[in-house]
Amino acid sequence: MEQHSKCYCSVPFCSNSKRKQPYLSFHDFPKDKHLRSKWIAAIRREENVTFTVLRGSTYVCSQHFRSEELYVKEGGSRSRLKKGSVPSRFAWNHFESRHEDRLTPYERASTPLLLNTEAATGERVEQGLEAMLTEPNANAMEHDYCRPPSPGKMDAAAARIRELEQKVMELEKEIKQLTLLADQPKLNRFCSTDEEFRFYTRFPSEEVFMMFWGSVAPSASRIVYWTKAQREAYGTPSPHRKLGLIDECFLFLCRIAAGLKEQALASMFKVSLSTVSRIIITWTSYFYLVLGSQPSWMTRQQVQATMPKKIHQYCPEVRVLIDCTEVRGETATSVTVQSESFSHYKNHTTFKSLVGVAPCGVITFVSKLYTGSISNQELTRRSNFTRLLQPGDGVMADKGFQIEGMLAEVGATLIIPPFKRSVQFTKEDAEKTQAIARLRVLVERAIRRVKEYHIWDGVVPLSFTGLVNQLWAICCLMSNYQGPLDIMEDKPV
């Protein structure tokens, strides 16, 4: 009969069950009345109202049979009994199936006090009393380890050991996976597609980002935080870097490109708020130094080689296109500062910058941010933009730039859309206006790319005043890594 999980041993003081000890086999009482009566007498039970032998529900476990009485049928998995076998291994004849059935050393030493114990242990108490009368020191010398463990306990221990070994292997595998995951750059957890890289970093793809990182990684490895310099000055050791270099770079890009707040970044990267602030300050200075040291101003030969054909046809002498743009800033409490930074064009407190773009769409010049009340002419003069020009260069701007005299000092010319002097433009003026307008769109697109860095979405706080110039230059120069602007020469603007 197939054994189910609710098999229980009917021997007194044995609590084995198929659910707790699945490695044991449970055997029905025999059908032969004579042999069944031997089983009942052997287990010291009597059939009455409280105990009835029922086929399929009354069992004796395999621990109460000798090993030679058990066998496994060929091709089978369950132990079977030899014909005529009778259970003979019990707690009262010195076979303990469970640890709790054994007497403790204190109980064995105190056997005279246990004369009124249960009937199942009476025989053991009598033997202990007899041993104490004949050999008074016999129980005092006996210990738990004097007896070898029972076969049932050895089987249970072996099964438990195998179970624990399997659990240890699983935990070691899990620890290894967690270690590998911890060693991987955290950017891999957030960026798995080009769209995610574009959102978090503004780089068009993972390939472009990794190329950029490969170019700056050697110098980034020598970054020293200003806090570390302070600690070394006072003899205090610097703390261990909690993030890898590439993760710190990614954190900085998440701040300026995705516009994530510092508290959100601290939660994402599992670091403190002060660590996030230190990383942003350090990498702002680093990128401003690295990107600002690279030559961004294009030579006349480079401009001519990359100039669109349509522009070259009407404005071959153009070297750069310029325009001013503004970002909103927090209003100061000082009336004087408010008046200086208030922009009548935006009707708000702003910071203003001059941006220069080559005809191919690359930003080649970025000025510092000035207060919003400054005029375009004054901003152009203060930015020292004209020092980069050569005689014969053409500078394209809108009609609001009155800088002809300033450009004439260095031999450059101002290219602006022609003014309407009659009722209708001539064909040449119309084509030139269209060409200039098409090229002017490049400046707007380039500036729009810069402002798509979400750090400029809100109002620039006054606490950012010390970093705002560096962040503005970084965003302008990094926008060039997004690829060429779309110049549709065959379509009117």
Question: For residue 150, what pLDDT is reported?
Answer: 66
Find out whether 22 and 9 touch, Cβ atoms under 8 Å. Answer: no
Domain boundaries, the chain: 103-147, 148-183, 188-293, 300-482
Please give the helix or strand (H or E) that residue 320 lies within, else none. strand 318-328
**CATH number for region 300-482:** 3.30.420
The pair of three-digit structure tokens given for residue 133, joined into one six-digit string: 């009368």
- d(CA 316, CA 435) in angstroms, rounded, equals 11
Residue type, 75: G
DSSP state of 30: P
Q: Which of 65-79, 83-97, 138-152, 361-375 has the lowest mean pLDDT?
A: 138-152
228-265 per-position pLDDT tens digit? 655 554 444 445 567 888 999 999 999 999 999 999 99
Mean pLDDT of 36-54: 89
Q: Between 266 and 109, where is the model more confident?
A: 266
Q: pTM of the full predicted structure?
A: 0.60
With bands split at pLDDT 50, 70 and 90, how would you rate the model's confidence at 489?
very low
Percent of the chain with pLDDT over 70: 79
In DSSP notation, 65-112 reads S-GGGEEE-TT--SEEEPTT------GGGT--SSGGGSPPHHHHHTGG
267 CB-near residues (< 8 Å, 6+ apart): none
Collect contacts of 263-269 with beta carbons under 8 A, ≥24 apart.
Answer: 268/186, 268/190, 269/186, 269/243
Q: Which of 232-246, 309-323, 470-484 has the lowest mean pLDDT?
A: 232-246
Question: For residue 175, what pLDDT is reported?
Answer: 80
With bands split at pLDDT 50, 70 and 90, how would you rate the model's confidence at 399?
confident
- d(CA 152, CA 111) in angstroms, rounded, equals 26
Q: Between 223 and 426, where is the model more confident?
A: 223
50-83 per-position pLDDT tens digit? 888 888 889 999 999 988 888 887 777 778 888 8
Evaluated on CA atoms 406, 368, 445, 329, the torsion sign reads negative
With bands split at pLDDT 50, 70 and 90, how would you rate the model's confidence at 417?
confident
Question: For residue 100, what pLDDT is reported?
Answer: 42
Q: Between 365 and 306, where is the model more confident?
A: 365
Find out whether 373 and 340 touch, Cβ atoms under 8 Å. Answer: yes
Question: For residue 256, what pLDDT is reported?
Answer: 94
Radius of gyration of the chain (CA): 45
Mean pLDDT, the chain, rounded, equals 80
CA dihedral of residues 271, 272, 276, 279 (deg, nearest 10): -80
Percent of the chain with pLDDT over 90: 36
- d(CA 24, CA 46) in angstroms, rounded, equals 25
